[in-house]
Structure 1
Amino acid sequence: MAQSPATAPDARAIPGMAERMAACTVCHGKEGRATADGYYPRIAGKPEGYLLHQLQSFRDGQRRYPMMNYLLANLSDDYLQQIAIFFAAQHPPYPPPVTTEASATVLERGRQLVTTGQPAQRMPACAACHGDGLGGVAPGIPGLLGLPKDYINAQLGAWRNGERKAKAPDCMGEIARALSPEDINAASSWLAAQPVPPDYRPAAAPPKPLPAQCGSMGPAVSKPVTMGATP
C-alpha cells in the first residue's frame, strides 16, 4: 500500500520527540502504527485534540490502564501536548486487514450499523460522527479503520459498562449503552476487516452537524438526539 503524502512539520514540535517516545512505541509500535497485539491501538495520525484528551484522561485517572496511568502520572499538559503533536503528525502506511472469521450475516449487520445506523431506533451510524470515510474529525473524533477487532470490542464494552467516559455530554457512552453485545461484535468485525485507503486522514471539520451532542466536539457542531434502545 502506498504511503500517504507527508505533512508539513509542525512549528510547535520540539526536537528529539521520536527518541523520547520509545516508551510509547514499545506497545504502540514504531511511529505509533500499532503491533500485532490486538489490544494496543494505532495512535499515529489520530487527531491531536483526541490524543491530548486521552493522554490527560489516563494521567488524571479518568481512563484506567495501569501502565498508561503510571507512565503519564507526572507529565505536564505542555508535554502531553507535545506527545499528541508528534503522533498526530505520523502517517505510516497501514498493513492489510487481518482475515476475519465473522460470517457474512455478521459482517452485513456490522456494515449497516457503521454506515447507516438504526434509523427506526434513532441510532446514528458510526459514519455520522467519524466521517463518511471513517477517518475521524478534528479536533476530537478518532478514525475507526486500521484498529484491531479486540481493541474495538474492548473499548465499546468499556463505554457500555461505564468504565470509559468522556467530557459531558458523553455521546459515545450513550450510544454504546444502546448497542447489544451482538451489535458490538458485528460492528468491530466489519471495521477490522476493512482496508485502509492511502489518503486516510481526519477531516478538518464535520461536513454537517453531528447527530448527537458530544462534549469532545462542543455544541456548535452537534445537535441533540434521543437514543433509542436496540430491538
Structure 2
Amino acid sequence: MVFLAALCRPGAAQNPAPLKRPPDTMEERLRACVSCHGEHGKGTNNVYFPRLAGKPAGYLYHQLTAFRDGRRKYAPMNFLLAYLPDEYLKKMAQYYADAQVPYDNPASPVLSEEVRQRGKSIVMQGDPGRKIPACVACHGPNLSGREPGIPGLIGLRFDYISAQLGAWRYGTRTALEPDCMQLIAARLTEAEVAAVAGWLSSMPVPADTRPLKASSERLPLACGSQQH
C-alpha cells in the first residue's frame, strides 16, 4: 500500500530516476561481442567462435572489413558490421589485439596419436615436394602469429580449424590477394586438413603467446595480409 501511495503522488510518474549511462569505453561498446567471443575476446565453449584476444590488429581489421564488405560470409557478423567505418573497425581490432587474457587448456585430442603426428609433421615441416610450407614458417615458431596480418593458431578448436581450412580449399573463404592460404589449403587433402586441425587443437600453449613483430623476413609465399 505504501508503494502504491508513492506512485499516486503528483509528479511521481513524470519524474523517474535518471538512467545511469554506461562508461563510454571500447569494452562497453563491444559488449555485444561477448556472448560469442567471450570477455575481452578470450573465447567461449562454442567450438565455431574463435578467440580474438592477442591476435595481430592488422589481421583482426582485415577480417572485420571482410565481413562488413561481404568477402567473408556469416550473416550475424555481416549484419553487425554492415555500417561501421574503417576507423571504428581499426579501434575494435586494436582493442582485441591489446587484450592479454590467459588461454584455456588445450582440448582433449579427437584423433589418434598417429593421425595427429602426421598433422604435426605438416605444421612443423610442411611438405616441400608438394609446395606445402610449414605452418610455423608464417605463423611463427610458437604458432602465435606474426604482425601485421598473420593470426596465431593457439587455442583454436578442431571444428573451427577444419572448417576454415575447408572453406579456403573450396573458395568460400578468401583473403586479400595474393591469397596464400587458399593456395596452401587447396594442396591439402581432407585427411590432412583433419590431421592438422587435430594437432593444432590439442597442442600445448607455449610460454610466449605474443605474435612476432613485423620484419623483412621473406615468407614462403607472397601473402596479401602482410602487404597492408
Q: In which range does the TM-score fall when normalised by the shorter chain? A: 0.7 to 0.9
**1:135 to 2:144 alignment:** yes
Q: RMSD value over aligned CA atoms?
A: 1.5
Structure index of larger Rg: 2
State which of 180, 189, 200 in structure 2 corresponds to 1:191: 200
Query: SS of 2:93's equivalent?
Result: helix
Query: Which residue in the other structure is 1:87 paired with?
Result: 96
TM alignment of 1:106-121, pairs within 5 A: 106-121=115-130
Query: Deviations for 1:171-213, whole angstroms, at most 9, x for unmatched residues?
Result: 0000011010000000000000012124201100257310001
CA distance in 2: counterparts of 1:52 and 1:218, whole angstroms: 13
TM alignment of 1:199-214, pairs within 5 A: 199-206=208-215, 208-214=217-223
CA distance in 2: counterparts of 1:95 and 1:21, whole angstroms: 22
Q: Displacement of 1:25 after TM fit?
A: 1.2
Q: TM-score, normalised by structure 2?
A: 0.87
Aligned length: 206
Query: Which residue in the other structure is 2:83 paired with?
Result: 74
Query: Deviations for 1:54-93, whole angstroms, at most 9, x for unmatched residues?
Result: 0000000011100000000010111101100100000100
Query: Which residue in the other structure is 1:229 paired with?
Result: none
**What are structure 2's unaligned runs of at least 5 residues?**
1-23
Query: SS of 2:59's equivalent?
Result: helix
Name the one with the larger helix percent.
2
Aligned partners of 1:146 and 1:196 also within 8 Å:
yes
Aligned partners of 2:57 and 2:149 also within 8 Å:
yes
Query: Which residue in the other structure is 1:50 paired with?
Result: 59
Q: TM-score, normalised by structure 1?
A: 0.86
CA distance in 2: counterparts of 1:42 and 1:217, whole angstroms: 21
CA distance in 2: counterparts of 1:62 and 1:218, whole angstroms: 18
Query: Which residue in the other structure is 2:112 paired with?
Result: 103
Query: Deviations for 1:10-64, whole angstroms, at most 9, x for unmatched residues?
Result: xxxxx60111111111100111011011000000111000000100000000111
Query: Which letter does structure 1 place at the counterpart of 2:97?
Result: A
**What are structure 1's unaligned runs of at least 5 residues?**
1-14, 220-231
Runs (4+) off by over 6 Å: none
Q: Displacement of 1:122 after TM fit?
A: 2.1
Query: Which residue in the other structure is 1:35 paired with?
Result: 44
